[in-house]
Each structure stands twice: as structure tokens, then as C-alpha cells.
């Protein structure tokens, strides 16, 4: 039997827990968490993601500020705005939605965020802190995946976790969390891996974050595998929206072999947002 790893449901549970804490914060007259989000340009997917983050803030009772800038904004001006938020005493967390336009360095802008307010967990300082057993602000997507697996009480210790994707913000920190925090045996594959299926077939837990829709097919996994699909790509479709969302895993065929599997959408995406809220709460507590 296959269990769907219902990220939406777990994220809702986490949001209810956070909302309760916010009520207590209010009653105690303490600082209400305040998240600021920067959105540059008019990328439809980025707009949707940021809107979902703002909606989540509203739902749990956080304060929020959305700062939108045109595609043409210069890098120095964006950096100056990040500085301003870094110095704003009322703002506890800051995210800059990626990707940024080609003339702006995403790495430079991200690294400019104060590590105390970096609730995406993207800065080098917070990346480094996952190598501590008392980490700071955890990289949001890997943290969300860890929480999802833990809340479904999936055994990780000693299991072979194969991660497909070595990106700075997902694959790389995920490998540290799974090996160092969860004691899994970890293999990291990526787009240059030769004979990818040789590795994915050995996975007890398979985490895929490549942005290549449908990369993982049923013949590439073993019976009983736990599958986590981080991919979410807009594919043109003949529907009113004009697109559909597709993960990196062929859900319809792989689900028959998996013991647990995340859907797309409704799997990892909502867990990333839940992590963002947890990090914002943590950042607020640390600062006040």
C-alpha cells in the first residue's frame, strides 16, 4: 500500500501550532513575528510563491511586508533595500524570492541578508550552522522535508538516502541534514551522474530536486522506496490557466512501487512555507 506524504496537511498542522504560539505572544505583550518578502519583476511562478507565503503569514497572525520592484531595478539599489530591512528593528525575517533577473547576482543579494533575519536559511552562515547539532535558521526546503519524514515517523537512521540534485539551497544542505542529523547513508547524484538509475534503484529514500519534469520513472526505483519530489515545473497545458505543474518524478507510475510518496503540488511546497514560518518565529525569539 502506498501512503501519500500529505505536505499540505502537515503544513496546516504546523500553521495551527504556530497560530497558537502567536496568540500566546500577543497575550504576553511580546513581539509579533514580522516577515518581509522582496519580489523583483513579474515572473508568474514567483508571484504565486510569494503570495502563498504572505497568505500563510496572515493565517498564523504574523505581520508581513511585501516589497515589489520592477525587473529593471539595479543591483546596488536592491542591495540598499536589503540593508534597510536588515537595520529595521521591527522586521524579524527577510526573504528575497529567487530567481532574480540576469543582471542581478542572486548569490550576492542572498548573502547580503543578515544571517539573523535569513529565514530561507540561504546565507553561508546558516548553511554552516547545519554542521552544528544546534543549528541556526535551517535551509527551509530541506528542513521541511526532514520535518515531513519525521512527522510520518519514517525510519531514516541507517537507510540509504539517494539525493538527486546538488544545488546550493536544496540538494547540498539536504545531504548534510540526512547524514549528520538523521544518520542516513547518503549518496548525492546530479545532472552529470553517469547511469543515474544504478544509484536511484538502491535508494530506500529518494529525494529528487533537479527541475527536470518526469526524470524519475518507475523502472528507476525499487519496491517500497520513500519518494520525495522537490521539483515543480510549469508545463504548457490546454486549460484555463494555460499550464499544469509537474514534478521531477513520474507520480502516476512510481506511486505503485513506493511505500510513501509526495504529490506535486501539495507535497514539499507547503512544507517549505511551514519551515519559513518556523524560522521566522525562531528569528523573532532570538532577536527579542
Within 8 A by CB and 6+ apart from 151, the residues are 10, 13
The answer to whether 35 and 93 have CB atoms below 8 angstroms apart is yes
Instruction: Verify binding: residue 208, ligand GUN, rule CB under 6 A.
Output: no
Catalytic option among 6, 15, 53, 229:
53
- Which of 54, 79, 98, 154 touches ligand GUN by CB under 6 A? 98
List the one residue from 92, 120, 182, 204 that touches ligand GUN (CB under 6 A): 120
Cβ 61 vs Cβ 26: under 8 Å: yes
Structural element, H or E, at residue 63: strand 63-69
Q: Is 95 in the site for ligand GUN (CB under 6 A)?
A: yes
* Residue 144 or 258 with smaller CB distance to ligand GUN: 144
Per the annotation, the verdict on 120 as an active-site residue is yes
Locate all alpha helices (DSSP H) within 1-139, ordered by sequence. Answer: 7-27, 44-60, 75-87, 106-112, 124-129
Binding-site string for ligand GUN from residue 235 to residue 274, where x marks contact by CB under 6 A and - marks none = -------------------------------------x--
Question: Is the distance from CB of 145 to CB of 229 less than 8 angstroms?
Answer: no
Number of residues that bind ligand GUN (CB under 6 A): 8
Of the candidates 201, 206, 165, the residue with the CA atom closest to the CA atom of residue 184: 206
Judge whether 15 counts as a catalytic residue.
no
Query: Which of 15, 123, 141, 280 is the binder for ligand GUN (CB under 6 A)?
Result: 141
| Per CB under 6 A, 54 contacts ligand GUN | no
* CB within 8 Å of 132: residues ≥ 6 apart: none
CB 43 → ligand GUN: shortest distance, Å? 10
**Spacing of C-alpha 109 from chain mean position:** 18
Q: How far apart are CA 189 and CA 165, in angstroms?
A: 6
Only one of the segments 59-67, 69-77, 89-97, 246-254 lies at the binding site for ligand GUN (rule: CB under 6 A); that segment is 89-97
Is 53 annotated in the active site?
Answer: yes
The answer to whether residues 97 and 39 touch, using CB atoms and an 8 Å cutoff, is yes
Stretch that binds ligand GUN, among 28-36, 92-100, 187-195, 200-208 (CB under 6 A): 92-100
Q: Tell the smallest beta-carbon distance from residue 65 to ligand GUN (Å).
A: 15
Dist. CA 126–CA 222, nearest whole Å:
35
Residues lying near ligand GUN in the complex (CB under 6 A) are found at 95-98, 120, 140-141, 272
Which amino acids are annotated catalytic? 53, 97, 120
Amino acid at each position: 500500500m502506498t501512503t501519500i506524504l500529505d505536505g499540505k496537511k502537515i503544513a496546516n498542522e504546523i500553521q495551527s501550532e504556530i497560530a497558537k504560539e502567536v496568540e500566546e505572544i500577543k497575550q504576553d505583550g511580546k513581539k509579533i513575528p514580522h516577515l518581509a518578502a522582496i519580489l523583483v519583476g513579474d515572473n508568474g511562478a514567483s508571484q504565486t510563491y510569494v503570495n502563498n507565503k504572505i497568505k500563510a503569514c496572515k493565517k498564523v497572525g504574523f505581520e508581513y511586508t511585501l516589497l515589489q520592484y520592477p525587473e529593471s531595478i539595479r543591483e546596488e539599489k536592491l542591495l540598499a533595500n536589503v540593508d534597510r530591512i536588515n537595520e529595521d528593528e521591527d522586521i524579524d525575517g527577510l526573504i528575497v524570492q529567487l530567481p532574480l533577473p540576469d543582471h542581478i547576482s542572486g548569490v550576492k543579494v542572498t548573502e547580503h541578508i543578515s544571517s539573523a533575519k535569513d529565514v530561507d536559511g540561504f546565507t553561508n552562515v546558516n548553511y554552516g550552522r547545519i554542521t552544528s547539532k544546534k543549528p541556526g535558521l535551517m535551509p527551509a526546503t530541506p528542513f521541511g522535508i526532514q520535518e515531513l519524514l519525521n512527522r510520518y515517523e519514517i525510519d531514516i537512521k541507517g537507510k540509504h538516502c539517494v539525493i538527486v540534485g546538488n544545488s546550493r539551497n536544496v540538494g547540498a544542505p539536504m545531504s548534510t541534514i540526512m547524514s549528520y542529523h538523521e544518520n542516513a547513508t547518503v549518496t548525492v547524484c546530479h545532472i552529470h551522474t553517469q547511469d543515474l538509475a544504478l544509484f536511484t534503484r538502491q535508494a530506500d529514500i529518494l529525494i529528487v530536486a533537479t527541475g527536470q519534469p518526469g526524470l524519475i520513472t518507475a523502472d528507476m526505483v525499487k519496491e517500497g522506496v520513500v519518494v520525495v519530489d522537490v521539483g515543480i515545473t510549469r508545463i504548457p497545458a490546454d486549460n484555463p490557466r494555460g499550464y499544469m505543474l509537474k514534478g521531477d518524478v513520474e507520480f502516476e507510475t512510481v506511486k505503485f512501487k513506493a511505500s510513501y510518496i509526495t504529490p506535486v503540488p501539495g507535497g514539499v511546497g507547503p512544507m517549505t512555507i511551514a519551515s519559513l514560518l518556523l524560522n521566522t518565529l525562531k528569528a523573532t525569539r532570538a532577536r527579542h
